[in-house]
Chains A and B, each alone.
Chain A
Amino acid sequence: MKKLGYVFAVIAIVVVAVWTYRTNYETKSTLARIEDLRDRIAGAKERTRVLRVEWAYLNAPERLAELVLRHNDKLGLVTLHPESFAYVAMIPYAPGAYVPTVPEVVDIEEFRLLPPPDMPLPVARPEHIEIEAAVLEAIGVEAGQ
């Protein structure tokens, strides 16, 4: 009886020792991985910061103005002016097409164009467009992470 007890005790010690050993090394390797990941995160952050500065530098208004001046024969850009704002009524409609009859009025408080009551306003382009996976596959784009 007593011997059996010793045997169990020894087995238990071996099991616990093995478990401790493995946990110990697992912990150490996890710590190493965390450190590695943190290092990579810091590296990525640093690169993002550099890229943001580079982006800001490349898009600095004075630089863009100079580039536009140099290449405007091809770009054909014009300065934004009050006359740049248009009204639906200025569009030449095809004969027989729907023509809004109610004049458009500018909201003095908000500087918005008030729509004639019977016409829908165009919707602003959404920032993100959800494209179905099947469509992406069809045009040969792999779904990103």
Chain B
Amino acid sequence: MEPLLHGVQGFIYPNEIELQWSILIVLYPFITGLVAGAFILASLERVFNVRAVKPTYRLALLTALAFLLIAPLPLQLHLGHPERSLEMFLTPHTTSAMAMFGFMYLWYLLIVLVLEIWLDFRRDIVMMAREKTGAARLFYRVLALGSDNISAESLKLDDKLGRFLTFIGIPSAFLLHGYVGFIFGSIKANPWWSTPLMPIVFLFSAMVSGIALVMLMYMLTSWFRNRPPDMDCLDTIGRYLLYAFIIDFGLEMVDLLHRIYESDESFRTLDFMVRTHLYTSHILIQIILGTILPIGLLAVVQLVQLQESARRTLYAIAGSLTLIGIFAMRWNVVIGGQLFSKSFLGYTTYKMGFATREGVLPALVLMALPFVILWILVKILPPWREE
């Protein structure tokens, strides 16, 4: 306790000195946001008939799956005793949003993502079961559930069912990430979190981060495969990223203006926190570097006629900055909400470990895992096979 007190300013209650929600809890909304955003980008093609983004459709689905598989791990690592998470399904607690989210997660993973990917890749799976030999053949046969039927009629049925799944997948993706915002927004004792705008802000920032991630993954995979990325597709994604970003930024500014105008009893404390403790991560990284700059870069592409290579570079920079900015947003919400005392009279400091259970190292490993899973998924189900 003694060394921790050096990070404390002013008056603080004893249970507020040490932060309970660590960087792992920052990762959790970041990762689920990427899932929801990637899925919503995929649904653009399927439900809203935006043909230009078709080259990213399957990659977006696989990306969403890779990240969704990892999404609960930060929570498991933070809480410990992963075996107890099963109790959530065995004895459901219907009045707790956190407990019911287990079912939401399962529904989204199994019914929406896995089933949709299976339907979409079924033709490829059957074709590979026919072409391969030995263990690989057996593997693909099991994946195809022993079916060898890829008649036009059966594929039409798959497409119809897949479209229906995407249709119910959009509200599911909204719920998936809206929930994360809901959890923070409904903590009435914390003025930094408690706002009904929270689920909506989280949702739009999720779309922004997911679209940026799929855009970067598409450019990266094209580069690995020595193929030029489809510029029409990239331009369309860039445009949607800009639209989503403007709405997201607008919502955050509405929230900010409302807080300033309302100036309730917590305002002076939060205002001081943003100007001091959170200045780098909130003002510099989240707002200037991670929001205004990428919006500006994406807007330049819309306003000025640029060469393909220049556009590609701008998209790569804007996409990377976007991901940094959205990560900073999650950081500022989760960590920022625990830096000030609920007495509004003091502040504490977040001391992050390195190779501890909730330190930087496990966070980096958790952040790298989805890319490993995606690499395996792409090996099993190459999303560009139909070209």
Is A bound to B? no
Give A contacts to B, CB under 8 Å. none
